[in-house]
Amino acid sequence: MKFLSNHKAFTLIELIAVVIIVAVVAAFAIPNYTKTIERAHLKDATGNLIAVHAAQQVRFSEQGKYWPESATTVDLASINTNLKLNIIAQGMTYTCTGDALGSTFTCDAVRSGSAPYTVRATQAVLSSGNPSCISGACP
């Protein structure tokens, strides 16, 4: 019996207290982590659209028109090929649309899921409103 009385261990109450503390910390950490991930996607999309805008300006200065030179919508593979970029989607869907004259373009980065939003860049001068989040639950 003397052997059992010298044995030190955690009591059930102590273990329950630790589990409760870990659960409370997780309850605060997980939503903040999710918001941080969404803000990172928004920053990434904004940066990629700034790169598209810069590539469009180079193309306009060389050829006198923006790409695409039609009213069709093109996907990320076409954007990367025609504007010589290397954008990786990372949870976003990128598209660009132009006009028949090559005088305008609109490029969108769309995040789908539980809180979808769209970030848009146009041929207008870069500013706080270009590119910007135009619809959805912008983080």
Q: Please indicate, yes or no, if residue 117 is contained in any of the structural domains.
A: yes
Which residues face 105 on adjacent strands?
Answer: 98
Residue 29: domain span: 11-136
Q: Please indicate, yes or no, if residue 75 is contained in any of the structural domains.
A: yes
Q: Please indicate, yes or no, if residue 102 is contained in any of the structural domains.
A: yes
Q: Please indicate, yes or no, if residue 4 is contained in any of the structural domains.
A: no
What does the pLDDT read at residue 118? 95
Q: Please indicate, yes or no, if residue 74 is contained in any of the structural domains.
A: yes
Q: Please indicate, yes or no, if residue 24 is contained in any of the structural domains.
A: yes
Convert the pLDDT of each residue in 115-135 to its tens digit. Answer: 899 999 999 999 999 999 999
Q: Please indicate, yes or no, if residue 3 is contained in any of the structural domains.
A: no
Which residues face 97 on adjacent strands?
Answer: 73, 106
How many domains, the chain? 1
Single-letter amino acid, residue 109: A
Single-letter amino acid, residue 108: D
What is the Cα–Cα distance from 77 to 136, expressed in whole angstroms?
A: 25
Which residues face 139 on adjacent strands?
Answer: none
With the C-alpha atoms ordered 99, 101, 105, 110, is the resulting torsion angle positive or negative? Answer: positive
CB 48 within 8 A of CB 54: no
pLDDT tier at 75, thresholds 50, 70, 90: very high
Identify the residue with better confidence: 94 or 9: 94
How crowded is residue 121: how many other Cβ atoms within 10 Å of its Cβ? 24
Mean pLDDT of 15-43: 91
Q: 6-35 b/e with 16+ CB inside 10 Å = b?
A: eeeeeeeeeeeeeeeeeeeeeeeeeeeeee
Mean pLDDT of 55-78: 94
pLDDT tier at 6, thresholds 50, 70, 90: low
Q: Please indicate, yes or no, if residue 5 is contained in any of the structural domains.
A: no
pLDDT tier at 10, thresholds 50, 70, 90: confident
